[in-house]
């Protein structure tokens, strides 16, 4: 555990501190977050502490990745709580810039990742991945860290970030960290707090259904039939709308065809005010 958690607010200071560590031969890990910390975020910190010498977390609720009717206003913001949790976990430094530092006057550049960023979440949340890709590119370029850690809970986001780092020659190694779940299987998410107690009881059905659908596909059942079965299961359990349940190639997110491919079953479904996403390997 570190004694003090330094909070830096400017890109200049972030760069200066990270370059100094790297100059001493230390490897630096980056853990980008929007706060609202839970054990899933802390698993990213743990992975960074294990794989690198210095861990820098970032905290910025990025307005550009929220649609006009999404929850930007309601998104949990409590920097003191998050800083305390980061510190207890052993994080060495927190970068918590304000919006003007990240998006200076006249900001006009965006990063958009075609194909893999256009499907699934990209189709249901227009602009979302451009917002994510833009801020993550900025954070990677600003920090120049050796390795950066992202949760597999946002599986498509992880693949989009791997793609942009490869395409833009960003030399930070992008590492995925397995999803952290409640005992009943519900994937941890800052948005779970929007669930009412009754909805919270229904929510674990998402993970159970994804596991069952993956098992059906694994056993050789028709993919479209398994996907349709899973959709019906979710609706029968009380989900209000199913955006998708789909088996995809694990790297490109193209259609899953051959059993030899590494696959992923991904889903997004609404439960009252909350929109839950999850995925399992095939």
When the beta carbons of 91 and 209 are compared against ligand PAF, the nearer one is: 91
When the beta carbons of 164 and 245 are compared against ligand PAF, the nearer one is: 164
Least separation, in Å, of the C-beta of 62 and ligand PAF?
4
Under 8 Å between Cβ of 280 and 211: yes
Least separation, in Å, of the C-beta of 228 and ligand PAF?
30
Least separation, in Å, of the C-beta of 10 and ligand PAF?
18
Positions that interact with ligand PAF (CB under 6 A): 32-34, 62, 65, 132, 135-136, 154, 157
Q: Cα dist. 191→35, 132, 133, 279 in Å? A: 11, 17, 21, 16
Among the listed residues 43, 77, 82, the one whose alpha carbon sits nearest the alpha carbon of residue 62: 77
Least separation, in Å, of the C-beta of 128 and ligand PAF?
9
When the beta carbons of 34 and 49 are compared against ligand PAF, the nearer one is: 34
Q: Which residue is nearest to ligand PAF (CB)?
A: 32
Among the listed residues 135, 179, 171, 189, the one whose alpha carbon sits nearest the alpha carbon of residue 155: 179
When the beta carbons of 56 and 217 are compared against ligand PAF, the nearer one is: 56
Least separation, in Å, of the C-beta of 198 and ligand PAF?
27
When the beta carbons of 132 and 242 are compared against ligand PAF, the nearer one is: 132
CA 4 to chain centre: 27
Please state, in angstroms and rounded to a whole number, the distance separating the CA atoms of residues 100 and 102: 5
Which residues have a catalytic role annotated?
Answer: 41
Least separation, in Å, of the C-beta of 193 and ligand PAF?
15
When the beta carbons of 37 and 214 are compared against ligand PAF, the nearer one is: 37
């Amino acid at each position: 555990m570190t004694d003090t958690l330094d909070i830096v607010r400017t890109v200049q200071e972030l760069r200066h501190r990270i370059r100094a560590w790297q100059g001493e031969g230390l490897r630096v890990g980056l853990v980008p977050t929007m706060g609202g910390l839970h054990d899933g975020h802390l698993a990213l910190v743990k992975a960074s502490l294990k794989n690198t010498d210095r861990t820098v977390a970032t905290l910025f609720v990025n307005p550009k990745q929220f649609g006009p009717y999404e929850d930007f206003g309601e998104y949990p913001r409590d920097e003191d709580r998050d800083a305390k949790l980061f510190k207890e976990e052993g994080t060495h430094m927190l970068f918590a810039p304000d919006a003007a530092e990240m998006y200076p006057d006249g900001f006009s550049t965006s990063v958009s990742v075609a194909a893999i960023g256009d499907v699934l979440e990209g189709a249901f949340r227009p602009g979302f991945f451009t917002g994510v890709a833009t801020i993550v590119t900025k954070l990677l370029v600003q920090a120049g860290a050796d390795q950066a850690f992202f949760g597999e809970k946002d599986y498509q986001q992880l693949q989009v970030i791997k793609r942009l780092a490869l395409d833009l020659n960003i030399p930070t190694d992008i590492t995925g960290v397995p999803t952290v779940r409640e005992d009943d299987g519900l994937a941890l998410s800052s948005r779970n707090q929007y669930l009412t107690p009754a909805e919270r009881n229904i929510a674990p059905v998402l993970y159970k259904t994804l596991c069952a659908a993956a098992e059906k596909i694994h056993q050789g059942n028709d993919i479209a039939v398994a996907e349709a079965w899973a959709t019906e299961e979710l609706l029968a359990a009380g989900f209000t709308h199913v955006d998708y349940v789909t088996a995809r190639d694990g790297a490109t997110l193209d259609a899953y065809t051959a059993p030899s491919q590494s696959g992923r079953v991904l889903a997004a479904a609404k439960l009252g005010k909350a929109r839950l996403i999850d995925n399992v390997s095939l």
